[in-house]
Amino acid sequence: MSTKDDTGLLRSVLPPERVDQLFDLCGTHSWKLILLSAVIGALPPVFGLREGYMMTVISEMFLFAILALSWDIVGGQTGYPSFGNMAFFGIGAYTGAILLKDFAVSFPLAVVTAGVFATVFAAIIGLIVLRLRGHYFAIATLGVLLAAQQISRNLEITGGASGKILFDVPPGIVFYYFFLGVLVAEIIVVYYLSNTRFGFILNAIRDDEGKATAMGFNTTYYKTAAWMLAALFTGLAGGAYGLFNTFIDPQTAYNGAWNVELIAMALMGGTGTVAGPVIGAFGLHTIIEYVETAFVGWQLVLLGLAVIVTVIGFPKGVVGSLREYANEMDYYERGGMAATDGAADGTDAATDANDPEVTTDE
Amino acid sequence: MTSDQNRRTFLKVAGSTGALGLTGLAGCAGSSSDGDGGGEGGSGDTITLGGSMSLTGDNADLGRLYKDSYQETIDRINEAGGVEAGDGNTYELEMVLRDDGTDPSTSRSIYQELIDREGIDYLLGPYASSVTLPASAVAAENQKPMVEGGGASPEIFSQGNEWIFGLLPTANKYAKSYFDMALEQDSPPETVAILAEDDTFSQTTADGAREKIEEEGLELVVDESFPTETSDLSTNLGRVRDNDADILLLCAHQQHNIILANQMESQGVNVDAAMGTVGSLNQSFKGEVGANGDYIYGPTSWDINANFDDPVYGGTQDFVAAINENYGYPPDYHSAAGEAVILTFVNAFESVDELGPTAVRNAIRDADPFSTVYGEVSFGDNGVIDKDMLIRQWQPDPGLQTVYPSSVAQADPIYPMPDWSER
């Protein structure tokens, strides 16, 4: 087709084989790269960024990356599109806020408890909703979110519709390192798991749950474990958010817009990978911040356009598209099908690369 | 297989590396903008006021009222030569208004951006208490004065924040004037019934009413709460009748005002006065209940028929005419409060020897009462305007009339309201 013409400039500047080599290089040194990323992420405060707008924006980038990566554990790696992840965030946020404000618990204990509460909630809910598949699962998770929001609105301990105010706030640098720390920990855990039997089984569930079940896996167990892992990190982030924002109410803690944004972030970056949701979160949040100040009143329209353009231009997300591009060369080298139809070949190659080949590993 | 695995590995890591790296760079770049907050927006003869407002989303219609009022007032001040500040210079006013979509999760970064990047020292508050709370925390952290006309929750002003000033009477004051009015009548009430919706705003209103009742030595004979979802107040109205309450206060929103008016009529519940706190003055309320709504009272922080002197417009009626003419709608209390937000800053700029956030904050806090289209403005120790609600009543012949306080009243209250059998 016209793939070669469309990407002619890109091919001359960055040939697929170079991308391929880069992938291999990074693959060889993956743990060192994670460490390097963490160090780079930790540097801005060392060089003087201690408060204010940029500190908040970067802290929010880390926060959204946690949320998007958590969503991807279930939505991308396992193929279960959850619309209820903000319920974990809200439960974490309220747990943290109540412990901090009403019980004068220390910040670390409050956020850890928030993560634990969200995880326990996920275990209970997961055993019910994770028996559902596809659209039914998506709708059920949305129901969980709405129910959690309504319960928080009606309870006295949550401050009802008025929410919780937390004015005795630690400096911004605390949240910066907290969100960075949780993000790095999550990247390490998800990356490690994605190369274990556990990760392969999640991918197998995504690719064909029927076969995975037929192979003897208790898929509900694996799905619930993945869902709890997502809830743990989302709940930890939520636990700190109330204090970070100085205020939560049902609208903020179970933020409907965020619920869509975090999915968009994972999709734009590339689902089913570790890097994709993180890139998507950083990219989309940067766009959101820019559009909010540069195009007042039009931000939602422009955001919608950005998502549409990305979905049309990079349906596999940034990482997925790059993966496809790099694999193209690999495919030629293997001498596959004379490479007459670039687009189709690329897709096939990418599918091959995506395939966790559970059967051989087992 | 090995190369596939490597590729998988890379993809999982490369993005996080790049993204974290980029963030690091962004962070380093960002730090240079810290401390760039010039007091007068950098140009020397311009003072910039900045804030966010609900310009999109559910409250966009209300947000527009503030935006138009801010803009009209600033334009008029600039056309008249600007602000003659106490430092001897004349400044033009500028406004930077962001859109928060009434989302409390956005206001923190919006206000930080205004302070850090736009160098704004004087903050206009957003609409809605939930958005104002995080914004007011940013104002306090950065020690910039914020004046707001869109947040009425007493929580905003009970945090010990010395940088926030509010122009709406807080929810706990909504019912106060109603009791003052009733107590001035020839046969003042001795017993009171409160029916309150089970939401925080209404409960706060009821708390304020209970305090006032105790202060005035009245007897609270019915004090009941009901869930928001209820469509039947008959049991509670039965209690009002059985306990022979003189006056009734309904702390609730419009739907319950409608239920109250209709069920009072069907059950023949007679009291000397009945007031609903929110929504009882809307035309749509009267349209729903017809004659059953006659004699019902409601509170408002501003009356479109009032005539207060104003240094920019001349008086309230000139303001009403200007908004009508330039924007095609009659202003309401949000618009008037918006005008007073700008004038609060102008009044402070005029009275300080040297412009700066702290000096301006002190000037706002210590200002003598000054007149605006919204009425007299001065702030209590907690930063809330020292203002009582006006009371309006649906009267059968002229319709909605301001009846209290007498200084702005269009008519005397019809008190006690006639029994249902006499209507």
Q: Average pLDDT in the B327-342 region?
A: 93
Shared domain for B262 and B368, answered yes or no, is no
**What's B316's domain CATH number?**
3.40.50.2300
pLDDT tens digit sequence for B335-351: 999 999 999 999 999 99
Number of domains in chain B: 2
For A13-70, the DSSP string reads HS-HHHHHHHHHHHHHTHHHHHHHHHHHHHHHHHTT--SSHHHHHHHHHHHHHHHHHH
For B128-172, what is each residue's pLDDT tens digit? Answer: 888 999 999 999 999 999 999 988 888 889 889 999 999 998 888
3-state secondary structure of B224: strand
Domain match, B285 and B186 both? yes
Residues B292, B312, single domain; the answer is no
Question: Which domain covers residue B276, as residue numbers?
Answer: 173-300+389-422
* CA B280 to mean position of chain CA atoms: 17
Are B292 and B311 within one domain? no
Intra-chain end-to-end CA distance of chain A, in Å: 38
Chain A to chain B, count of Cβ pairs less than 8 Å apart? Answer: 243
Claim to verify: residue B241 and residue B321 sit in the same structural domain? no
Q: Residue A57 is nearest to which of B24, B109, B160, comparing CB atoms?
A: B109
Domain for residue B251, yes or no?
Answer: yes
Can you give the residue ranges of every domain in chain A?
49-255
Chosen from B1, B16, B120, B131 to mutate, greatest number of chain A CBs within 10 A: B16
Q: What is the mean pLDDT of residues A241-260?
A: 91
> Does residue B319 lie within any of the structural domains?
yes
The pTM (predicted TM-score) of the whole model is 0.79
B368 falls within a domain: yes
Q: Are strands B219-226 and B191-197 parallel, antiparallel or unpaired?
A: parallel
Candidates B6, B22, B117; nearest CB to A24: B6
Question: What is the distance in angstroms between the Cα of A262 and the nearest Cα belonging to chain B?
Answer: 14
Min mean pLDDT across A116-120, A203-207, B201-205 is at B201-205
pLDDT tens, position by position, A145-168:
999 998 998 888 998 777 888 878
Please indicate, yes or no, if residue B30 is contained in any of the structural domains: no
Q: What is the pLDDT of residue B386?
A: 80
Let me know whether B58 and B201 are in one domain: no
* Chain B residues 144-183 within an 8 A CB cutoff of chain A: 153, 155, 159-161
Pair B200, B140 in one domain: no
Q: Are A156 and A145 in contact (CB under 8 A)?
A: no
Residues B373 and B395 in one domain: no
User: Does B324 share its domain with B248?
Assistant: no
For residue B25, tell me if it sits in a domain.
no
Quick one: average pLDDT of A289-310? 82
For B88-119, write each residue's pLDDT tens digit: 999 999 999 999 988 888 999 999 999 999 99
Of B7, B12, B30, Cβ closest to residue A353: B7
C-alpha to C-alpha distance for A230 and A246, rounded to whole angstroms: 24
Q: Are residues B294 and B410 in the same domain?
A: yes
Q: Are B62 and B129 in the same domain?
A: yes
Residue B41 domain flag: no
Cα–Cα distance between B51 and B126 in angstroms, integer?
7
With a CB-CB cutoff of 8 Å, which residues 199-218 of chain B face chain A?
199-201
Which residues pair with residue B94 across a beta bridge? B48
How many angstroms away from the CA of A52 is the closest CA of chain B? 6
